[in-house]
Amino acid sequence: MKANESLDDLTINNLKKKANMIRKDIIEMIYSAKSGHPGGSLSSADIVTSLYFHIMNHDPKNPSWIERDRFILSKGHACPSLYAALAESGYFDVSELKNLRKPECLLQGHPCTKTPGIEISTGSLGQGLSISTGIALGLRLDGSSSRVFVLLGDGELQSGQVWEAMMAAPKFKLGNLTAIIDRNMLQIDGSTEKVMALEPLKEKLKAFNWQVYEIDGHNIREIIETINEGLKITDKPKIIIAHTIKGKGVSFMENNVSFHGKSPTDEEYKIAMKELEASS
Amino acid sequence: MSGFGVPRDAYGEVLSELGETRKDLVVLDADLSSSTKTSSFGKKFPDRFFNIGIAEQNMIGIAAGLATTGKTVFASSFAMFAVGRVYDQIRQSVAYPKMNVKIVATHAGITVGEDGVSHQMIEDISLMCALPNMKVMVPSDTFETKKTIREISKEKGPTYVRLGRSKVPNVFENEDEIKLGKATTLMEGDDVTIMASGVMVSKSLEASQKLKSEGISAGVVNLSTLKPIDRQGIINSAKKTGCVVTAEEHNVYIGMGALVSSILSEEYPVPVLRCGIKDTFAQSGDYELLMQLYNLTSEEIYKLSKNVITMKR
């Protein structure tokens, strides 16, 4: 859509429904796989939905379409969210989702190029921002108008490579790059602020010369309007701190670090699906 | 074989030359462009050269990202940093997704001499050969370096090229006579086969001359492509002589000699003796002196050749 187009309520409601469907897919997939990362997948669902079903130019029937916008999931463990968005967009059949993490399946435990719509493998944290910087440089060399979007976890900001890229992207004036931080405040060993504090995050990002925004990462209207606002700035990269709730949408997973990388039990699965059904 | 050349100079020259016609060629460096010689490309094609600073992890990630947009990306630094610093990034972002990234490392091995262990990379062959999808090349002189860079620039996929710092004797007289990808016989021999790569190729030829003066016929094989390795070529050479000496400027614990030994033990077991660094860190010192201290000499290859002949069954 055009950057200045206003969002009507119907569009927003449809996207909310889509995000809810993505969340149901996430729970189904991880339950079926008996392993995976529900917490960070659920926290990223509204961001991924906004990108795949509203902001990005892409063609599920032609994943290598030269003019596509690029998306890199730097926090690769949240791939159930991305796989669900790819399936619901039509890159492959939704029935493939139940094969997550199984041999010969398109959907590996972390993203790889075997999956239609995945640009490059991720999963070893801290590498996605560098990759996205490279993609943005490459697209600019080609005179392309495609944009690059990258979703980072907050925990992975502890990785030094991220800050190497934080220095490079503004240096190269990459206006075609938008980074989003899924700021759910939790990592495997607990609070990001206790494990290795990231705050004051906004000030750090500003000091690195990014155009910085701070939003509610579950408010689809705010996500879209902020990304579009940023896209008007063409001479520097944008970064959005999206405040989210780990496990968002499933009551007992919300802010519960034990669901970082654990599949639900039979009972938990039923409750989770019931809750998500109720909010759809 | 006559004259000397500096392989990294050859790398810089051929990159600049290729840049004229190959608009898809993009070059990255990490603040060592004047030493790796990518600076000449950078001066000529500033819009396709990116100095990433002292941030090799970021350099490899950016290289991978550029490759997704169809670029042929050359990324250079010293071997210590281009490989040692960034193994995970090379594995995840380049090798696994088969990105068209050519990591051309200079100052490999102990040729950095006085800089000492912090800069002496003697494990890169092990690390890069262990990666699925990675092609590994160790040119022996400037001609082979040029040929290698030209060839890999035409192929898609990840490649590691290992270059040293110093000038080396010419093994070849021109690029046309070089056949990459094969265990190439440089000298025919009947009594022992010396298989060598990189700077050890010229030393092996010297050893072969000395053996010849004593009536021993030593063949010399250039193993510049270590992955994919020419299994059949290695087996054929071993069959001809029944014993092998390998020579590499690398840790022998897991290096070219170990690769050759594993192939031969599986398919045609013959005695193999290995010349290389014996699983130890080296130290600061003049390059030629270090080569002697760690037995990376034609004299050592000569001795091992005589020994291995006595081990034939």
Residue A121 has a CB neighbour count (10 Å cut-off) of: 26
Instruction: Determine, for residues B92 and A160 on separate chains, whether the beta-carbon distance falls below 8 Å.
Output: no
pLDDT of residue A6: 74
| A161 to chain B, closest Cα gap in Å | 6
Instruction: Determine, for residues A119 and B68 on separate chains, whether the beta-carbon distance falls below 8 Å.
Output: yes
Q: Chain A to chain B, count of Cβ pairs less than 8 Å apart?
A: 107
Domain extent for A237: 9-279
Show the tokens assigned to B305. 């050749």
Instruction: Determine, for residues A131 and B64 on separate chains, whether the beta-carbon distance falls below 8 Å.
Output: yes
Residue A86 lies in a domain: yes
* Alpha-carbon torsion (B259, B265, B269, B271), positive or negative: positive
β-pairing, B49-51 with A211-216?
unpaired
| Candidates B53, B57, B91; nearest CB to A130 | B57
Tell me, rounded to whole angstroms, the distance of Cα B211 from its chain centroid: 25
Report whether the peptide linkage leading into residue B228 is cis, meaning its omega lies within 30 degrees of zero.
yes
Phi, psi (degrees; rounded to nearest 5) at A147: -110, 160
Nearest to A257 by CA among A38, A63, A58, A56: A38
Instruction: Determine, for residues A138 and B97 on separate chains, whether the beta-carbon distance falls below 8 Å.
Output: no
User: Rounded to whole angstroms, how far apart are CA atoms B190 and B243?
Assistant: 10
Instruction: Determine, for residues B88 and A124 on separate chains, whether the beta-carbon distance falls below 8 Å.
Output: yes
Q: Is A160 on the interface with B (CB under 8 A)?
A: yes
- N-to-C CA span, chain B: 34
Instruction: Determine, for residues B93 and A130 on separate chains, whether the beta-carbon distance falls below 8 Å.
Output: yes
DSSP state of A202: H
pLDDT of residue B159: 98
β partners of residue B187: B220
User: Rounded to whole angstroms, how far apart are CA atoms A214 and A199?
Assistant: 13
DSSP state of A142: T
Give the best residue of A137, A144, A156, A158 to mutate against chain B (max B CB count within 10 A): A137
User: Rounded to whole angstroms, how far apart are CA atoms B208 and B202?
Assistant: 10
Q: Is A172 on the interface with B (CB under 8 A)?
A: yes
Phi, psi (degrees; rounded to nearest 5) at B51: -90, 115
| Candidates B26, B70, B97; nearest CB to A121 | B97
Phi, psi (degrees; rounded to nearest 5) at A21: -65, -40
| B92 to chain A, closest Cα gap in Å | 7
Mean pLDDT by groups of 10 residues along chain B of 313 residues? 91 98 98 97 98 98 98 98 97 98 97 91 98 98 98 98 96 96 97 98 98 98 98 98 98 97 98 98 95 97 98 92
Q: Is A179 on the interface with B (CB under 8 A)?
A: no
Instruction: Determine, for residues B97 and A137 on separate chains, whether the beta-carbon distance falls below 8 Å.
Output: no
Q: Is A133 on the interface with B (CB under 8 A)?
A: yes
What pLDDT, in 10s, does the model give residues B232-248? 999 999 999 999 999 99
Instruction: Determine, for residues B61 and A129 on separate chains, whether the beta-carbon distance falls below 8 Å.
Output: yes
pLDDT of residue B2: 80
Residue A3 lies in a domain: no
User: Rounded to whole angstroms, how far apart are CA atoms A207 and A200?
Assistant: 11
Find the closest chain A residue to B71 by CA distance: A138
pLDDT of residue A26: 98
Q: Is the pLDDT of residue A1 over 50?
A: no
* E strand map for B30-145: 49-51, 72-78, 101-106, 135-137
| A258 to chain B, closest Cα gap in Å | 27
Residue B265 has a CB neighbour count (10 Å cut-off) of: 11
Instruction: Determine, for residues A130 and B61 on separate chains, whether the beta-carbon distance falls below 8 Å.
Output: yes
| B68 to chain A, closest Cα gap in Å | 7
H or E element: which one contains A215?
Answer: strand A211-216
Instruction: Determine, for residues B65 and A136 on separate chains, whether the beta-carbon distance falls below 8 Å.
Output: yes
Strands ordered across the beta sheet of A70-73: A70-73, A148-153, A177-183, A238-243, A211-216
| A194 to chain B, closest Cα gap in Å | 26
ipTM of the complex: 0.96
- What chain B holds in terms of domains, given with CATH numbers, is 3-170 (3.40.50.970), 184-311 (3.40.50.920)
| A85 to chain B, closest Cα gap in Å | 21
- N-to-C CA span, chain A: 25
Q: Is B88 on the interface with A (CB under 8 A)?
A: yes
Instruction: Determine, for residues A161 and B65 on separate chains, whether the beta-carbon distance falls below 8 Å.
Output: no
Nearest to A113 by CA among B98, B134, B132: B98
Residue B296 · residue B200 · CB < 8 Å: yes
CATH of the domain at A38: 3.40.50.970
pLDDT of residue A279: 87
DSSP-based three-state secondary structure for B289: helix
| Candidates B58, B92, B99; nearest CB to A164 | B58
Q: Is A152 on the interface with B (CB under 8 A)?
A: no
Q: Is A146 on the interface with B (CB under 8 A)?
A: no
| Candidates A113, A128, A164; nearest CB to B55 | A164
DSSP-based three-state secondary structure for A120: coil
| A126 to chain B, closest Cα gap in Å | 9
The DSSP-derived string for A225-237 is HHHHHHHT--SS-
More confident residue, A4 or B244: B244
Residue A4 lies in a domain: no
pLDDT of residue A243: 98
β-pairing, B184-187 with B218-222?
antiparallel
Domain total of chain A: 1
Which residues in chain B (4-23) have CB-CB distances under 8 A to chain A?
A: none
Q: Kindly list the residues from chain A whose CB atom is less than 8 angstroms away from the CB atom of residue B61.
A: 127-131, 133-134, 161, 165
Burial class (CB in 10 A: 0-12, 13-18, 19+), B124: buried
| B47 to chain A, closest Cα gap in Å | 8
What pLDDT, in 10s, does the model give residues A102-136? 999 999 999 999 999 999 999 999 999 999 999 99
Nearest to A20 by CA among A83, A92, A81, A87: A81
| A132 to chain B, closest Cα gap in Å | 6
Give the best residue of B62, B89, B98, B156 to mutate against chain A (max A CB count within 10 A): B62
